[in-house]
Each structure stands twice: as structure tokens, then as C-alpha cells.
Structure 1
Amino acid sequence: MAAIQDVMQTISPRLAILPDYDGQEPPHTYYAKLRAINETARPLGVAAFNDAERANVMKSKMTGRFFPVPAQNPYNANANIVTEAEVYNWMQGSLH
């Protein structure tokens, strides 16, 4: 049975070659890359790699003015940033 360490072992090499996000490309492009990386772990079926953990992976790739990622999204009624979609919403809002 796979565990969270198996997930990290699967996605870590891909995360390592993706530069941290500092606004160098449109949010939707970078977000799509992060989603693709997270999706490579889906076949493992690890319940612990839930929405919040997937969002944490994305937040770990932020740098520059996008770091640190706040707990709540000030651009979306202070919604908690605990899903991939909310990370994306925050990234978009941060550009304005």
C-alpha cells in the first residue's frame, strides 16, 4: 500500500526541475504545470494526498512577491487557501 512518502518520491523529481514561481509566466500556465505534477501521484491512491496537501505542494513553489502564501485569500473574501483552485485564485489576484 502506498503512503505519502511514495507520493513525495513520485512528484519530487518533477518539482525539482520546475523553477519556483515568481510571476515569470501567466498564473494559468504555471498552475497547469503544478496540477500536472500533482496528478502524477493520483494512480498511487494515497488518501493523505488530499486537497490541502496538493495545495501545500503548490504553495511550496512560490517565491519572490508570491512568498509567503497567506492562510487566507484576500482577493476572494478571505477564503482559506487549502485547495489547488484557491491557490490559483490567489495567484491571479496577486498580479493586480
Structure 2
Amino acid sequence: MEGDSRASNAPNVPPQQRDRVLASSRAENGDRGLEGKTFHVPKEAASFLRSHVRTLEDWRREGRGPRFYKLGSRKRAKILYRRRDLETWVDMHLMSACGPNPLP
């Protein structure tokens, strides 16, 4: 894992917490060998985020969700998510409690 480069993208998130969340997600998803991959198709990204492919489609259309690459044009475009961007997006949503005050 590229711990140092990811840590700088997610300020104020303790590495232990980030690692616990990611390990939990990997365990629940069965970690089907995604760890070694740099890019993921939407189905893999949705599995990692414990979401649905349709949710990722909605987020892309609405300009929300994790960053992604669109390779090609229009309907035949290939959508790819970079593993580092998925992890950073998860880190950005870490909350200290149910409410509007995220961790500092």
C-alpha cells in the first residue's frame, strides 16, 4: 500500500481509524484481489464502497461521489475509479458523531 501518499490526501484522519475502516470493508467484501489493483471498474468500486453501481452512476451525473476517469466518448466510455481516490473519498466522510460536525 502507498500509505504515505494517501495519508497526505486525507488530513486529520488517524491512520489507525482509516486502516480499520478499510480492513472492515475488505473483510465484508471478501477482498477479491482488489488490493493490488490501481484502477477499478464501477462494479468493483461499488463493492468496495458497499454501494450499488446505480448509486455511483447517480453520483457521477450529479457531480458527487469519488473522482473517476472517463475514457472514450459518450455512451461507450469506460469509467474507472482509482483505488487511492476511493479511499480518500471514504476518509473525507469520516464523522465523529451523527450530526453536522465532522472530525477536525
The TM-score by the shorter chain falls in which range? 0.3 to 0.5
The structure carrying a bigger helix percent of its residues is: 1
Q: TM-score, normalised by structure 2?
A: 0.33
Q: What's the TM-score, normalizing by structure 1?
A: 0.35
Tell me which structure has the larger Cα radius of gyration: 2
